[in-house]
Structure 1
Amino acid sequence: MTEEFSTEKAQASAWFRSLRDQIVSAFEGLETAHGDGARFELTPTARADGGGGLMSVLRGGAVFEKVGVNVSEVHGALGERAQKAMAARGVPGMDSDPRFWAAGISLVAHMVNPHCPAVHMNTRMFWTPHAWWFGGGSDLNPCLEYPEDTAHFHAEMQAACDAHAPDYYGKFKAWADEYFFIPHRGRARGVGGIFYDDLNTGDWAADFALTQDVGRAFLPAFVPLIERRIGTAWSEADRDAQLVHRGLYAEYNLVYDRGTKFGLESGHDANAVLMSLPPLAKWI
């Protein structure tokens, strides 16, 4: 590995931006097909110590009550708390050289129709002078679960993983079940998916290819569920269940989510970091 890893960084950052463009186009197509053609609002973001990104948020659509598809590419030196967190995860050299570079895409969708599931997806690459790795995944968060929707979503995630290693799906599914769990509620925040982090097999191209396939699997995993449920009639009780479930989602992201913690501790734009929060939620 060259110290700066410049070619690989550029390839990864370009891919995350390309995936953002694909997803934004697909979601705006859904708003055109099912509503009045709501569009994303684009806001550049900046990190004071280096880098930035693009926050893309659509609000008040016929399909999406709020959806964000953000990309970022940031760099600089990690602060003391972030250094300690990285060192605790086994990243070497943090005490002597805290430089880092990171790029990724992060998506969270909160739906209008309670029968359409909320969803999260992110993939990222992280680099230090001593190590690099990929991470990410996607998980489905319905307030009203349909087993066939869950099965479809997981099948698409499994296909993406199986193309690279026979044990990836089982391992990443179990990791998602553990990671997307709310200890103080004693329950998962949704019906799972896949999650992986610190992925460095020693073959950068292979690990990048997996990360690309996880990103490519997102639209085939999620869009058919929207098309299947968008016309389902819903009641005030359904809406109430949706808002309570969003409360669980907000609790998880504010208390436990690793990406939220890193984004805030590393000085990235707070609005972009907290894009995942729902527009409305309820606690009982």
Structure 2
Amino acid sequence: MRKANKWHTYIVIFLGTLLSITWLYPFILIFVNSFKTRSEIFTNTLSFPLDPTSENYPRAFAELDYVQSFTNSLLITVVSIILIVFFTSMAAYALSRYKRKMSSFIYFICGATMLIPFQSVMIPLVGLFGKVSLLNRTGLIIMNIGFSSSMSIFLYYGALRAIPIALDEAAIIEGANRFQIFFRVIFPMLRSTTVTVIILNAIKIWNDYLLPSLVVNKDGMYTLPLQMYYFFGQYTTQWELALAGLILAIIPIIILYIFLQKYIVEGITEGAVK
């Protein structure tokens, strides 16, 4: 039995290592090629640079207008995440505590809307927002909240089902109202789920290209993914700058993930509780 368990451990480690290498290889390839010239990228794509150069990074930084693009991405992402957490956590709390048929119906509707692709509602949605003059950062934030609410409510709802209602009842006896119960008693217990919601939505919003390209495709409002399109011309592509720009664009979200990743598995597990 011990021998079988030992081999099972080895197989799991081997498969996990193989899967990790498979996932990391594209990022390693991007990083390595960001230190090459354009000609070397085409001739030695899979090898280490023969004559490494760091000139691609300051050039990409300047041509990306990195400070302005980073500020736009950061503003849109942070405001969207704060509002997503605020609204969806309260919505999930209401759905989990008020046991009515309508609550279950709304919850299942939220789950069903996760299956609707953005492309199917893209044209009418952009047209509607254009008519009310919301093709700007405010409109983009509203759209981010709408498209992220279903998954966030789903995760919060599962976590809230694991928190006993007795805590609410005890707080009511102490004289707390519903808002005090949620923000002082319940919400602090949802830390892992909240971090998971933040990470998953931050990655999606930060890296999104399609939605911002339809809503904030104007000078001074470009996000980093939109500004990256500058390197891809009609007749040529500045691959050396594009790869360096990709590294500059993904560094902030990687840092966020590193600091919060220990909560992700715990949060997803809490959100999966039925």
Settle same-fold status: TM greater than 0.5.
Answer: no
The interval holding the TM-score normalised by the smaller chain is: under 0.3
Please state which structure has a larger fraction of its residues in helix: 2
Q: Which structure's relative contact order is higher, taking Cα pairs within 8 Å and 6+ residues apart? A: 2
- Greater share of residues in strand: 1
Query: Over alpha carbons, which structure has the higher Rg?
Result: 2
Normalising by structure 2, report the TM-score: 0.24
